[in-house]
């Protein structure tokens, strides 16, 4: 156990040489900030998407032709509803409408609770429409006619991750906007009460309709995990940038030890400091630098993501053409933050203490003379 005076001396030396440690402190804080911001955004988006998937039925069926989505009709609903284990099949109208005046795509979603002449729009859609003075109603231009609809209300900000580019319409109105026939559906929601039968039901659906794609809730959840884990391209790039920055930081730390600090270690040895004292001195100094930089980086990331909604960085992750006013749900994975601490602070200390120990056990006479 080191004395209080020894710790105070180490801190005094740290502040005396603060310019030498400032670069390391700022770089380390920036690395932790980038990694923590990435994890906060990733965890928040995953949480919201997983919650939306969990509210869906067990199987979502989509039909394809020539590799593209193709509409389904009532015959699909009848055949699938006859499969053992299926309790209900619901046809869904879902597609995209091109808003040519702003060169944007709106996600059209059928909602049977709405009247035929009204709609609910997301925050991003509201902003895009407002720029062209569509504040009370909006005109959909199709190949056959113009459809005038009243804007009923705006989807709440808490649902922006799902609803930012969405326009909710009565299913028949949605079909008219999307150019679909009245008995056509974009997707089928298949309810299977027994979880053990979900896999078999999805296989039977594909057997009946080989061109159909039956996605189970488990498959959808796995897809979200795959997208937002390290395998995702954006995350991989950010991790690589952080790693390169970290190695630059470690190189700077080694240079500090082997440069002017070599003479300082030699002087301390000549004053009676033993090897353990030298290592303890460096350990205390760099622990203060690395831990304070880590805490600052995490705190800045929390404020940046959850209080300011991650400006600039959120556009990289969300990739929407519409202005995105999303509010990130505060979700913190303590285990991943601990991993950042473990693989950040520990190598940082090791790359200082090991060179300091190597210098301390070498011949000090040459270093003192220089």
Could you give phi then psi for residue 169, rounded to 5 degrees?
A: -130, 160
Please state whether the predicted TM-score (pTM) of the whole model is above 0.75: no
Closest alpha carbon to 109 in 48, 56, 61, 178: 178
Task: Choose the weakest-confidence range: 26-35, 213-222, 232-241, 350-359.
Answer: 232-241
Q: What angle do CA 231, 232, 237 make, to 5 degrees?
A: 95
Residue with tokens 């925050």: 123
Per-chain mean pLDDT for the chain: 82
- Residue 309: band (very low, low, confident or very high) from pLDDT cuts 50, 70, 90: confident
Sign of CA dihedral 257, 263, 268, 270: positive
Higher pLDDT, 332 or 321: 332
- pLDDT over 90 at 80, yes or no: yes
- Rounded average pLDDT over 12-23: 77
Q: What is the pLDDT of residues 262-304, one digit of tens each?
A: 777 777 777 777 878 888 888 888 888 889 999 999 999 999 9
| Residue 47 near residue 328 (C-beta atoms within 8 A) | no
- Residue 90: band (very low, low, confident or very high) from pLDDT cuts 50, 70, 90: very high
| Residue 230 near residue 5 (C-beta atoms within 8 A) | no
Task: Choose the weakest-confidence range: 49-58, 143-152, 220-229.
Answer: 220-229
Element containing residue 7 per DSSP (H, E): helix 4-16
- Residue 168: band (very low, low, confident or very high) from pLDDT cuts 50, 70, 90: very high
- pLDDT over 80 at 352, yes or no: no
Task: Determine whether 153 is exposed, middle or buried from the number of CB atoms within 10 Å of its CB (0-12, 13-18, 19+).
Answer: exposed
Cα separation, 333 vs 77, whole angstroms: 42
Which residues, other chains included, contact 354 with Cβ-Cβ below 8 Å and sequence gap of 6+?
none
Distance (Å) of CA 246 to CA 31, 168, 226 = 7, 47, 26
Closest alpha carbon to 8 in 289, 273, 253, 285: 285
Task: Choose the weakest-confidence range: 168-172, 198-202, 247-251, 327-331.
Answer: 247-251
Cα separation, 345 vs 338, whole angstroms: 10
Check residue 52 and give its pLDDT.
81
Check residue 324 and give its pLDDT.
63
Check residue 234 and give its pLDDT.
63
Check residue 93 and give its pLDDT.
93
DSSP string, 255-322: HHHHTHHHHHHHHHHHTT--HHHHHHHHHHHHHHHHHHHHHHHHHHHHIIIIIT--TTHHHHHH--SS
Task: Choose the weakest-confidence range: 81-95, 167-181, 275-289.
Answer: 275-289
DSSP string, 78-114: HHHHTSTT--EEEEE-EEEEEETTTTEEEEEEE-TTS
- pLDDT over 60 at 130, yes or no: yes
Which residues, other chains included, contact 200 with Cβ-Cβ below 8 Å and sequence gap of 6+?
85
Distance from CA of residue 273 to its chain's centroid? 49
Cα separation, 219 vs 199, whole angstroms: 10
Cα separation, 306 vs 313, whole angstroms: 12
């Amino acid at each position: 156990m080191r004395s209080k005076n020894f710790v105070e001396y180490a801190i005094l030396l740290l502040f005396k040489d603060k310019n030498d440690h400032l670069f390391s402190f700022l770089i380390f804080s920036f690395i932790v900030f980038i990694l923590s911001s990435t994890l906060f955004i990733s965890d928040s988006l995953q949480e919201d998407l997983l919650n939306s998937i969990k509210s869906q039925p067990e199987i979502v069926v989509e039909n394809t032709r020539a590799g593209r989505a193709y509409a389904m009709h009532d015959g699909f609903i009848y055949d699938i509803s006859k499969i053992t284990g299926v309790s209900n099949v619901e046809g869904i109208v879902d597609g995209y409408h091109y808003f040519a005046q702003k060169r944007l795509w709106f996600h059209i979603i059928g909602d049977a609770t709405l009247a035929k002449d009204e709609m609910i729009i997301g925050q991003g859609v509201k902003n895009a429409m407002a720029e062209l003075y569509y504040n009370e109603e909006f005109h959909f231009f199709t190949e056959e006619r113009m459809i005038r609809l009243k804007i009923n209300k705006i989807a709440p900000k808490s649902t922006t991750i799902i609803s930012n580019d969405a326009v909710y319409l009565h299913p028949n109105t949605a079909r008219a906007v999307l150019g679909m026939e009245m008995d056509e559906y974009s997707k089928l929601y298949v309810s299977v009460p027994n979880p053990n039968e979900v896999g078999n039901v999805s296989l039977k659906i594909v057997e009946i309709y080989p061109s159909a794609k039956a996605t189970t809730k488990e498959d959808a959840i796995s897809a979200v995990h795959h997208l937002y884990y390290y395998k995702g391209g954006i995350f991989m790039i950010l991790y690589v940038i952080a790693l390169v920055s970290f190695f630059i930081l470690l190189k700077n730390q080694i240079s500090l030890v082997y440069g002017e600090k070599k003479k300082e270690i030699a002087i301390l040895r000549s004053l009676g400091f033993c090897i353990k004292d030298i290592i303890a001195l460096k350990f205390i100094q760099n622990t203060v630098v690395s831990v304070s930089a880590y805490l600052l980086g995490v705190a800045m990331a929390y404020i940046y993501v959850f209080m300011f909604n991650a400006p600039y960085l959120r556009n990289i992750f969300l990739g929407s053409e519409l202005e995105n006013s999303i509010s990130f749900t505060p979700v913190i994975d303590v285990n991943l933050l601990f991993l950042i601490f473990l693989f950040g602070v520990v190598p940082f200390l090791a790359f200082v203490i090991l060179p300091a120990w190597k210098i301390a056990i070498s011949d000090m006479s040459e270093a003192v003379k220089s």
